[in-house]
Amino acid sequence: MKKAFAKIIRGIMSALARLPLGFHYFWGDVVSWLLRCVVRYRTDVVWMNISRAFPNKKYKELKAIYMAFYRHLGEIFAEAIWFGGSSYERLNKAGIVTVKNPEVLAKMYEDSPSVTVMCTHCGNWEILGGFYGYMTRDGFECPFDETALTVVYKRLSSDLSDMIFAMNRINALETYSPDAIIESHNILRFCITNKDRKKIYGYPADQSPYKKMGRHDMGIFLNQHTYAMTGSLGVACKLSHAVVYLKMKHLGRGKYEWEFIPVCQNASEHTPDELMRKYYDLLEMEINETPHNWLWSHNRWKI
């Protein structure tokens, strides 16, 4: 029953997604205002996170980041809905994502058993499903096809919402692959079972540790003591994956630039904690460059 209802809602969303991106941005701005001024969605968390992360910034600077974050949050919703009705051709025509250096990921893929791509909640993670299309946008010849890609995600608390957004995230794929997205609690078994397949795994790794996961001390991140999950990098170390950081710079409305920053070619030569510390150093540099571009509404430092 839930699956059928989810398909109906996805059908409605797909119809709406056919409308121009500008239409969605109009409603994204409305959503942004509602979240900030009416619902006051996690406004205390957002303000606390920003002010603690940048203790040397003046109130006016902090307020500018706060306002820009909510505006961008509305854009994320707008782009996610629009993405759900998009093909690679439509995504590339809009130019929503430009990949600065696709050759870096391609080379790491060719020279390793598999690649672990450390993603973040910068930019718009809801449009990761267009990964292969972005890579090949300017005629770049990838040494892999879209079936090599697997994005790891945390299941939403609502089964209905989880089904809807899972379908939305893989809509752009030209070839359906059952392992295009894998829930986080299944990924270890999946990686080990498929260790002989050359894959590219994308992990959003900047969340607060899940209750049942181990907490690893990362030291100071954004001026606060931080714990992290290292399971993704533990798998990479065990299976000798290459590791790369995906920087998702927000250039302006509807424009993102992706850059692959190598972390290591063989994770087995490092410890998971060492690699995760490098990840958080790169993430902090990215946030300092474009402060509004991170998911400040996430209660990252909850006890």
* Positive or negative: CA dihedral 256, 261, 265, 270: negative
Burial class from Cβ neighbours inside 10 Å (0-12, 13-18, 19+) for residue 47 reads middle
> Of all helices (H) and strands (E), which one includes residue 107?
helix 102-110
pLDDT of residue 216: 87
Geometric angle at alpha carbon 175, from 172 and 178, rounded to 5°: 95
CA 263 – CA 284 distance, rounded (Å): 15
Residue 131: name the closest of 177, 191, 184, 196 by CA: 177
CA 148 – CA 170 distance, rounded (Å): 14
Burial class from Cβ neighbours inside 10 Å (0-12, 13-18, 19+) for residue 147 reads middle
Both structure tokens of 51: 């002010």
pLDDT of residue 13: 77
DSSP for 26-74 reads: HHHHHHHHIIIIIS-TTHHHHHHHHHHH-TTS-HHHHHHHHHHHHHHHH
CA 215 – CA 40 distance, rounded (Å): 30
Cβ neighbours of 68 (radius 10 Å): 15
Residues 6 or more apart whose CB falls under 8 angstroms from that of 182 comprise 150, 151, 152, 153, 190
Residues 6 or more apart whose CB falls under 8 angstroms from that of 178 comprise none
What does the CA dihedral 178, 272, 294, 161 come to, rounded to 10 degrees?
Answer: 30
pLDDT of residue 228: 92
Q: Mean pLDDT in each 10-residue stretch from start to end of the chain (303 residues)? A: 68 84 96 97 97 97 98 96 91 95 97 97 94 93 94 74 70 77 85 93 88 80 93 93 97 96 98 96 98 95 76
pLDDT of residue 255: 96
Helix/strand/coil for 209: coil
CA 222 – CA 238 distance, rounded (Å): 29
Q: DSSP strand E in the chain: where?
A: 97-99, 115-119, 149-153, 181-183, 200-204, 216-221, 224-228, 242-252, 255-264
